[in-house]
Structure 1
Amino acid sequence: MPRRRLSRRGAATAELVMVLPVLVAVTIGLVWLLAVGAAQVRAVDAARETARALARGDDRAEAVDRGVSVGPRGTSVAVETDGDRVVAVAEASVRGPGGLFGFLPAVTVHARAVAAAEEEAAP
């Protein structure tokens, strides 16, 4: 009885078709992680910028507006004064890229900055 030899033709293509969606999903996930990292850095900048401006004696509303403009979209900045220290906390939510991860909850980034209030120089 002769043996039939199975053809391996097209096996690589079939394997690629099976793996390609996973590779695309992993790539998009990595891009999302980079976006979250960049948003975290911008939140730190927003908190630091706000705390620094308040420590210099700038107007509170202007300092908060500056922090909101520096942070990622949707940033909120809260400020409190603790004796001679100014504390600014920035918070923002980061959604998935292109709506592809819409089923997942948004990632919230937080940052806190503390600055010592500068003393005004005597004239």
Structure 2
Amino acid sequence: MTAETALMLPLLVALAAGLVWLLAVGLAQVRVTDAAREAARATARGDTWPQAQELALRVAPAGASVERSTESGAVVVRVEADAGGPGGLLGRLVPDVRVGATAVAAAEEP
């Protein structure tokens, strides 16, 4: 029984590490989606771009980039960030993934 456990243990550790990595990527995707939505909404309701950008950077993962454009009276905000293992864990074992989200909001009339 001990030999079987010794053979299976590395596989179980690798599986757990993979699940933690997937969870971290999913969480980063949710955060960039929320950040893009908040910045688009803030800009559309009349906040200045620096205010909206600051709001997005507070919600997004560290090191995120926030871009804005205007198309046909709508505000388009794109947020991108790198997602890796939580707390820097697994940094050398699994690659970072670039996640991004775009949000569109109609500009409100004053």
TM-score range, shorter chain: over 0.9
Deviating beyond 3 angstroms after TM superposition, the runs of 4 or more aligned structure 1 residues are none
Aligned length, in residue pairs: 109
Alignment counterpart, residue 106 of structure 1, candidates 71, 96, 100: 96
Q: % of aligned pairs identical?
A: 54
| SS of residue matched to 2:26 | helix
The answer for the alignment partner of 1:32 in structure 2 is 21
Distance 1:66 1:35 in 2: 22
Distance 1:91 1:19 in 2: 38
User: Larger radius of gyration, structure 1 or 2?
Assistant: 1
Distance 2:93 2:2 in 1: 31
Q: Determine if contact 1:92/1:109 at 8 Å carries over to the other structure.
A: yes
Alignment counterpart, residue 96 of structure 1, candidates 85, 94, 99: 85
Corresponding letter in the other structure for 1:44: T
Q: Determine if contact 1:95/1:102 at 8 Å carries over to the other structure.
A: no
> Which blocks of at least 5 consecutive residues in structure 1 are unaligned?
1-11
Q: Larger relative CO (CA 8 A, sep 6+): 1 or 2?
A: 2
TM-score (norm: length of structure 1): 0.83
Distance 2:21 2:62 in 1: 15
Q: What is the RMSD computed on CA atoms of the aligned residues?
A: 1.2
